[in-house]
Structure 1
Amino acid sequence: MSDATRRAFAPARPGAVIESGGRDRNAPALRALLDCLARGLPIHASQAGIRAAGPEPAPVLCCQSSGSGGRVKTIRRSHGSWIASFEVNRATFGLSARDCYGVLGELGHSLSLYATLEALQLGARVAVLAGDGPRSQIARLAAARVSVLYATPTQLRRLLLAAGEARLPAVTHVFSGGGKLDAACRAGVAALCPGAVVREFYGASETSFITIADAATPVGSVGRAYPEVSIRLGAGGRVFVASPYLFDGYAEADLPSPPREDGHLGTGDIGMLDAAGHLFLRGRESRMVTVADRTLFLEDIEAALTAAGAGVCAAVAVPDALRGQAVVAIVEGGEDAARAALLGRACRDALGEHAGPRRVLFLPRLPALASGKPDLAALARMVGPAP
């Protein structure tokens, strides 16, 4: 066993957790996490909460994928695989025990758990605010003087919708992952957190960090390789990565490991690299659809909707007898025929006639995964086949 694999998370220091949002709905998970750290027990985190990971030998962490592909997977990784990136972030971005972290999602989601454990490993304070409404989260982030904020783009958009004239001047670092951070959201976060550097990172529960981007990154790119990450492109632009941060495998015996090429793990994404090493993602291979004999990525539809002011939204594909597949857009908000027409036209103008949604549906609130991202599988079931 390597030294990196042997490394275990440090016990939390007293007073490390200063806030627990959601009217104490986070308290059981926090207590269980702190108990595992104090006793050196392996950690199992899921949507049901946190517990010691049964007969697994420490230092092992089990957490769950977001389920955006339709099935939640249990990720097994060594503590050392996360500690290695904690140390990179400390050295690269100057994170330290002087910081206070803000976490907006449930601890069962890997991004929220990662941020919490990074804070505790560095000796920083952490405010876990899952379950609070965005206005309450903004107030608590301000009161706690949070300096490091980890969030998904969806969580950030919800904050911006509630922010009004509020500002979070104590925030110096914003790390956004789990989806594309569009230009409007980036600009809004920069206004909400005027003293912060906003960084978008690309990765997955299986890989942790792959790339990281900042204000100097070309438009449309998710950045260059994170330190010690190697990126290779396979057939059709399939993205493969190797790094010290990869997972050990799935806990479910029936789940095959992702494909590998030359020691690099397949991510399921399609992309391209420019001459300077910037990675540009087209989308998930599983979200590549064919409409009227033309290939389309559903992520491109969502980007066009967002650019047109849709806010929280998603796109799904349904079978269509004439065109193979048809796109349905789902937007958070009240029914609005004029807005639906505008959003449909924006998609056609940006991507072509074949990209126009067959329907634009409105929901008061989109069903969400533990990560805060829209639950695409639930939306697909809700939408049903094209008429």
Structure 2
Amino acid sequence: MTTGTRAGLDNRIVVGGHVSTWRELPEPVLPSPAAVLTARPADALAAARHHAGHGTELLLASAGRVDQAMRDELREAGFTVIGPEPDGGHAAPPVRARPAEPGRLWLLTSGSTGRPKRVGHTLESLTTVRGVQPARTWLCPYAPGTYAWWQVVTLSLTQPDQHLVVVDADELDEWPALAAAHRVDAASGTPTFWRRTLHRDGAALARVPLRQLTLGGEPVDQAVLDQLRELFPAARISWIYASSEVGASIVVHDGRAGFPVEWLDRRMPGRPTLSVDGEELVITSPHHGAGLDGPVRTGDRVQVVDGRVLITGRLDSDEINVGGSKVSAGLVRGVLAAHPRLAWARVTGRRAPLLGRMVVAEVVPTTSDDAPDEAELVRWCADRLPDHAVPRRIRLLPEIPVKETLKSDV
């Protein structure tokens, strides 16, 4: 156990209604290397605690994110796979044993560009908050082992007075009541997580005494920032750009979507350097994963609008070619999200005769009894977008869809 992690051992942890501390967590006996696959928050925290104390080479992930092919790949790579197995077993030994790499932590990428990949880190590289922090009780709704999960967990492990309330998957719909009961005053989630909560029960969310709200993991638009600011006028609202590959690289606290264009190509010791190549965000980060030093092409598309650099989506999915004209799905999504009677929007391309592709959208109204119809939404977009970017089909959904990663795959 390092000096840094000892600082957080007495922080309070609430899991499944049970209150304990990091110090009181039962420690599993883990081989090294180990791949722990679990959706149970208590098991995930215990594995993290064991790694902090013993330096076990560890990959931690939600069981639902790892298919049989990935399990076999991990065993081929020398991991003992611990977790629910299709044949009912609990642990599967490695196919080829190898020496462990002490202190190594492995994260799986989100898989947004294909099959998830392993990215190497250490507890040190995942711990990006080091300055003295005000006492907080943090909500952690993320799936175990994701980069965002580790960000909240390392904060609680390494800093005093950073308590943790962990939300299980079956508690997600009612998390505001759980958070209010345990006096949560800081919460981190994706924009989809916040939009879904605002849509389901904004009144319950308003009863949570939040002083810090953090958004990350997806493009952040002005509409969701403004909605949260209206509900929590005195809180600090931040958005963070972070990934397994480059770590936490962009942090914005000014309540505006995007970051100032002046941050591009700014070089400061110990800070990431941000640049744009074509329309792609490129980051050189001190928080990078193993072997990813130097400029890393993120695959995320950016556009400069009114002095702000906006991250609009993935390069391979954000651009829609309509009759030879390029359309950013992210910018169209932002226009729809700004409609006062919409809670969420997704924009994609669909095959169309003559044009090749046309813009289509799915939306969720703020309330079902005051939902805008398709004609109104088309007019709204036509007043704000060039003709080729206006959605030609708009479908209303009753609920904001969400995946295990707390993203809606926008």
- Short-chain TM bin: 0.7 to 0.9
1:314 equivalent to 2:346? Answer yes
TM-score relative to the length of structure 1? 0.77
How far residue 246 of structure 1 moved from its aligned partner, in angstroms, is 1.0
Displacement of 1:280 in angstroms is: 3.4
Aligned partner of 2:385 in structure 1 is: 351
CA RMSD of aligned residues (A): 3.6
TM-fit CA distance, 1:143 = 2.0
Match of 1:30 among 45, 50, 57: 45
Choose the corresponding residue for 1:46, options 39, 61, 64: 61
8 Å contact from structure 1 (residues 314, 331) kept in 2: yes
Aligned to 1:361: 395
- In structure 2, what is the Cα distance between the partners aligned to 1:74 and 1:198? 31
Contact 1:68–1:369 at 8 Å: present in 2 too?
Answer: no
Identify which range, 185-194 or 206-215, moves more after superposition: 185-194
Structure 1 contact 48–108 (Cα < 8 Å) conserved: no
Output the CA distance in 1 between the equivalents of 2:401 and 2:115.
15
Is the 8 Å Cα contact of residues 55 and 104 (structure 2) preserved in structure 1? no
Say if 1:201 and 1:222, in contact at 8 Å, map to a contact too.
no
Which is higher, the Rg of structure 1 or of structure 2? 2
User: Residues 311 and 58 of structure 1: is their aligned pair in 2 closer, same or farther, counting only changes over 3 Å?
Assistant: farther
1:116 is matched with: 153
| Equivalent residue runs for 1:36-185 within 5 Å | 36-48=51-63, 54=80, 56-83=100-127, 85-87=128-130, 91=131, 94-96=132-134, 98-123=135-160, 124-133=162-171, 136-161=174-199, 162-164=201-203, 166-168=205-207, 170-185=209-224
Cα deviation, residue 21, structure 1:
6.9
In structure 2, the residue corresponding to 1:164 is in which secondary structure?
helix
Q: Which runs of 5+ in 1 are unaligned?
A: 1-6, 250-256, 377-387
Q: CA deviation at 1:190?
A: 2.6
Tell me, yes or no, if structure 1 residue 267 matches structure 2 residue 298. yes
What is aligned with 2:271? 228
Residue 16 in 1 paired to residue 12 in 2? yes
Contact 1:172 1:196 survives alignment (8 Å): yes
Residue 296 of structure 1: SS of its match in structure 2? strand
- Structure 1 distance, partners of 2:305, 2:350, is 34
Contact kept, 8 Å, 1:76 with 1:248, in 2: the verdict is yes
SS of residue in 2 equivalent to 1:311: strand
Q: After superposition, what is the alpha-carbon deviation per residue over 1:108-165, rounded to whole angstroms, capped at 9, x for unaligned?
A: 4321232122222213211111425556211222222223211111111122221226
Q: Distance in 2 between matches of 1:238 and 1:279?
A: 11
| C-alpha distance in structure 1 between counterparts of 2:226 and 2:310, whole Å | 20
Q: Report the counterpart of residue 315 of structure 2 in structure 1.
A: 285
What letter is aligned with 1:57? E
User: Residue 327 of structure 1: CA displacement?
Assistant: 2.2
Of 215, 219, 223, the residue aligned with 2:254 is 215
Query: 2:87 corresponds to which residue?
Result: none
Query: What TM-score do you get using the length of structure 2 for normalisation?
Result: 0.73
Contact 1:167 1:194 in 2 (8 A): no
Deviation digits for residues 239-281 of structure 1, max 9, x if unmatched? 21112111125xxxxxxx8xx9xx31111123357998x5333
Query: Partners in 2 of 1:63 and 1:28 — Cα distance?
Result: 17
On the 8 A contact 1:331/1:361 being kept in 2, the answer is yes
Moved more, 129-138 or 51-60: 51-60
- Alpha-carbon distance between aligned partners in 2 of 1:315 and 1:361, rounded to the nearest angstrom: 10
SS in 1 for 2:373: helix
Range with greater deviation from structure 2 (332-341 or 353-362)? 332-341
> Could you tell me which residue of structure 1 aligns to residue 93 of structure 2?
none
Deviation at 1:238, TM superposition (A): 2.4
Alpha-carbon distance change, 128 to 337 in structure 1, aligned in 2, over 3 angstroms: closer
1:213 maps to a residue whose letter is V
> Aligned partners of 1:196, 1:336: CA distance in 2, in Å?
30
Q: Percent identity?
A: 23
CA spacing shift, 1:20–1:272, aligned 2, 3 Å: same
Q: What is the CA-CA distance between 1:70 and the residue it aligns to?
A: 4.4
Deviations 1:53-76 (A, max 9, x none): 656413222222233334333322
| C-alpha spacing 1:212/1:374, structure 2 compared with 1 (3 Å) | same
Q: Is the 8 A contact 2:196 2:400 kept in 1?
A: no
Greater shift in the superposed pair: 64-73 or 47-56: 47-56
Q: Distance in 1 between matches of 2:405 and 2:45?
A: 17
Structure 2 CA distance for aligned equivalents of residues 331 and 99 of structure 1: 35
- TM-fit CA distance, 1:356: 2.2
Equivalence for 1:253: none
Q: Are the counterparts in 1 of residues 139 and 165 from structure 2 also a CA contact under 8 Å?
A: yes
Looking at structure 2, the residues matched to 216 and 186 of structure 1 have their Cα atoms a distance apart, in angstroms, of 6
> Aligned match of 2:330 in 299, 302, 305?
299
CA contact (8 A) 1:16 1:120 kept: no
Number of corresponding residues: 349
Distance in 1 (CA, whole Å) between partners of 2:204 and 2:230 is 10
Given that residues 222 and 281 in structure 1 are in contact (C-alpha distance below 8 angstroms), is that contact kept between their aligned partners in structure 2? no
Deviation (angstroms), 1:168: 4.8
